[in-house]
Structure 1
């Protein structure tokens, strides 16, 4: 298992590989993260129906199946899981060779602003570069200005691609961001 200290701006945060016992905490972070970040952006009924226990079971099954594997979780000094992120090969049709994709990055709403998100993003971009990827893409809700600012500060820029996904019966527009991995460190 890989454990590394976080960047200097996130004291006490450690990033390590996810373990099966983290599924409940990761599910809690993902559900609470959606409910906090996407209020007003996706139908409220959808957010209200999200269930931590159901999400934990999905995480356990995905983890047991071996894919797409979660690559890292963020730990506070007290060893509580405070964030979760994963990446892998880019899933976009026609994506250039060497492009990875940030599939997910969530920090518990109570821990936003502590540096946990920056630590996770820094770790995953470093891991993707080490794995031979030259750039990383991600999709973010078009109207999620807070997340867009976070990614822009980390060197990601919109590349003009847009698409809508269906969430809770509503079309939710997303934009793609891309960053070269050989450039400045995330954070």
Structure 2
């Protein structure tokens, strides 16, 4: 079992670590239903260092990293998108750390931030074929809602909208 998870606000010094966690997480969680070329294109589009840095520095985006023994092993970002809702944009944990409470610690920090925004719920979209993500959100108490289509590197994939009441 690992040492305690520490969740803190991300800084620009975390950009490379965030991209590395994203890469390993995407292949582990999405590799069964996304083509490797699609994963690579999506990683390039979504985790370009300048884009990650902009997300970290954006005043309206909450961006947190989780550390174990000083190493970034996960991250999450969220934004208040409606008067009564925070959207969880990302939450990824390095696959070597799945099941150790890292994702839960990140979500708890996002939920705390969402309560500070005085909203009623946290919402997110999860690829329907992402068994790891679906299981994670359902275990936290998220409720599945409408089915939608999410665009990834020019391809459409089924997505389930989830909501968590605060």
Give the TM interval when normalised to the shorter protein. Answer: 0.7 to 0.9
What is the match of residue 37 of structure 1? 29
| Cα distance in 1 for residues equivalent to 2:55 and 2:96 | 26
- For 1:139 and 1:68, the matched residues in 2 are separated by 19
- In structure 1, what is the Cα distance between the partners aligned to 2:55 and 2:112? 24
| Residues 73, 82 of structure 1: 8 Å contact kept | yes
Q: Does the Cα contact within 8 Å between 1:71 and 1:86 map onto a contact in 2?
A: yes
Root-mean-square deviation over aligned CA pairs:
2.2
Residue 118 of structure 1 and its aligned partner are, at CA, apart by: 0.7
What do residues 21-59 of structure 1 show as CA deviations (whole Å, max 9, x unaligned)?
1111011111221111101222221224545xx633331
Relative to structure 1, is the Cα distance of residues 59 and 165 closer, same or farther in structure 2, using a 3 angstrom cutoff? same
Residue 163 (structure 2) aligned to one of 178, 184, 187? 178
What is aligned with 2:51? Answer: 58
Do the aligned residues in 1 keep the contact of 2:56 with 2:63 (CA within 8 Å)? no
Q: Provide the TM-score with structure 2 as the length reference.
A: 0.87
User: Which runs of no fewer than 5 residues in structure 1 stay unpaired?
Assistant: 1-8, 182-187
Question: Matches of 2:88 and 2:117 in 1, distance apart?
Answer: 14
Change (3 A) 1:30 1:171: same
Q: Deviations over 1:106-144 (max 9, x none)?
A: 011211111100100111112101221111111000111
For structure 2, list consecutive stretches of 5 or more residues without a partner in the other structure.
none
Q: How many pairs are equivalent?
A: 164
In the alignment, what sits opposite 2:144? 158
CA contact (8 A) 1:43 1:167 kept: no
CA contact (8 A) 2:10 2:56 kept: no
TM-superposed CA distance for 1:178, in Å, is 0.6
1:61-85 Cα deviation digits (max 9, x unpaired): 4435x25534211011x21111000
Radius of gyration: which is bigger?
1
TM-superposition CA deviations, 1:1-35 (whole Å, max 9, x none): xxxxxxxx985111111111111101111122111
Aligned counterpart, 1:135 = 121
Name whichever structure is richer in helix by fraction.
2
Aligned ranges 1:5-16 → 2 under 5 Å: 11-16=3-8
Separation (CA, whole Å) in 2 of partners of 1:48 and 1:89? 29
**1:80 maps to 2:71:** yes
